[in-house]
A and B are shown apart, each in its own frame.
Chain A
Amino acid sequence: MKNHSLALKLSAGFGFLFLYAPIVALIIYSFNESKLVTVWGGWSLKWYVELFQNEQIMNAAWVSLKIAFISATLASVLGTLAGFVLSRMGKFRGKTMMAGWVTAPLVMPEVITGLSLLLLFVAMESMFGWPAGRGTTTIVIAHTTFCLAYVAVVVQSRLSSLDETLEEAAMDLGAKPVSLFFLITLPLISPAILSGWLLSFTLSLDDLVIASFVSGPGNSTLPMVIFSKVRLGVTPEINALATLMILVVSIAVIAAIFIMRRQSRFQNP
């Protein structure tokens, strides 16, 4: 199947151009000397310098990184459990419901998730006095919940493609369920958990809508600061920030793909 028709190649080429042109333009304009974003004033790094001197952005970035790290870690633990339960535990009461709860957050409009979690937190506060106010804790809970779904889906698909014989062999040799999970299953699905963690980290770092609902005063995350700035128009500092974030994410994703490929080659020769 090497001789694709020209029309197919052209339309796919157009698709890829569409995917990458805006990103490339953003990166180029981040090095623009001119304050007027659309006028080219020569190469410069001055927006990067300004970015690092902008305390509001730097503080928000730190808040976001902390939240993303904690949420991704919690979501990886809970999501791995959820994926494992759904694909290795057979039938149990409430399984269909749980499967629905795992997939629905993937498509649920963010405004609904954000509003519903905020109202829950407010109701919980008036009933139990916890969580007192809103801030990092409530954002972490919200992010963990929707990232959990992504981890569960990735882990589930990895488990379903995995041969059960290795786990059966370990059981036949007398492994207890707990040691079976930690010694056999966990190492086998670790690439999936790692990519689930990375995905959760980027999703949490990127979330604007849900965080806006459940955050409290003085807890602005990076997307919230970016949004309040870009709402007024294009700003060169945000171009610089976007370039840095795209760079970091691209390196991480390429590394992850590389690791996954090596792993899969090692496991299915």
Chain B
Amino acid sequence: MINAPTNTTQPTLLQRLQAIRLGRWFVILIPMLWLAAFFFIPFLVVFKISLSEAMIAVPPYSPLLEWDPSSAYATLKITFGNYLFLFESRFYLDAYLSSLRIAAVSTFFTLIIGFPIAYLIARSGPTARTILLSLVILPFWTSFLLRVYAWMSLLKKNGLVNDTLMSLGLIDQPLQILQTDVAVYIGIVYTYLPFMILPLYTTLEKMDMSLIEAAKDLGAKPWKAFCFVTLPLAKPGIIAGCLLVFIPAVGEFVIPSLLGGSDTLMIGRVLWDEFFLNRDWPLASAVAIIMLIVLVGPIMFMRNGNKEAL
């Protein structure tokens, strides 16, 4: 008897998994529902509360739907007052702009400091690479709060940085660094540096070195080869790294409040104060919604780009 031809095309793993529909949706829905409930829906709640008015009550905002028992009608009470207030007052606009500026400047310096490190790691031998990479990752695992705190004692008037600069004869008088914007830049660059180095390393490691050799063979000076070959090839990593630093830095709270001065204006700090000091929940919500609108562009950009770099 002739054997019946066995099916030559084996169903793929994917097709087989698709066959079990119910279990499949069960597995999909568990993380999806969790994320919907605790990541996505909260934004809708914030938006809703940003449209209500602050009042002295528990919770301290007016209800959007007001139910009048005598007429059995519910009235929808929406106010754009919080948003109008944000746009009319110079203070909030300044806070947004100065957050964007501080984040942009810090991102630039993070790139300048991170690039040589990433480049060196990507071009090292296997053992050196593991060690150097671990050295970059290790601070990222230690407490963010404590790493910011470490700079407080370093940057003080009689701290290590001023002492070193004075003993080197570079300055005569201790500089006021702590409680200035400079301290905030240092803090952001320091704490976010690993977020820059890792995506940069990933792209630089994959880069074909023969392209640079070719450029050099064709007579390009090292800096020219760097500008026209290395940099364009490293672009996905540069973009990913910059966004990973820039987006969270815009809303940073801990760094400006520990290292910055009272005049260091950042929107994360403004939101915190509106919420905890003024207890104006609707205004804090409006601040958050505008911040989200400002950041949604970079976040979408990162999502589209990160397939190449991360």
Contacts and interface: CB of A to CB of B under 8 A. Distances in A.
B54 interface: no
Interface string A234-250: 10001101100110011
Interface centre among A78, A102, A104, A109 (most CB of B within 10 A): A109
Contacts, number: 261
A51 interface: no
B291 interface: yes
Contacts of B73: none
A105 B49 CA distance: 21
Contact of B145 (A23, A99, A117, A227): A227
Nearest to B139: A19
A184 to B, nearest CB: 11
Contact of A177 (B17, B42, B137, B139): B17
A238 B119 contact: no
Interface stretch (B78-86, B87-95, B165-173, B245-253): B245-253
Interface in B257-310: 257-258, 268, 271-272, 275-276, 281, 284-285, 288, 291-292, 295, 299, 302-303, 306, 310
Report the contact-size class of chain B (Cβ under 8 Å from the partner). Answer: 35 or more
Given A98-B35, A120-B42, A84 B27 contact: yes
A250 B138 contact: yes
B123 interface: yes
Given A12-B120, A22-B150, A98-B35, A115 B143 contact: no
B59 interface: yes
Interface of B: 10, 12-14, 16-18, 20, 23-24, 27-28, 30-32, 34-36, 38-43, 45-46, 49, 59, 113-114, 116-117, 119-120, 123-125, 130, 134-139, 141-147, 149-154, 156, 158-160, 190, 193, 209, 222, 243-244, 247-248, 250-254, 257-258, 268, 271-272, 275-276, 281, 284-285, 288, 291-292, 295, 299, 302-303, 306, 310
11 contacts: A1-B123, A16-B135, A89-B17, A92-B28, A98-B31, A98-B35, A108-B251, A108-B299, A120-B38, A202-B142, A206-B144
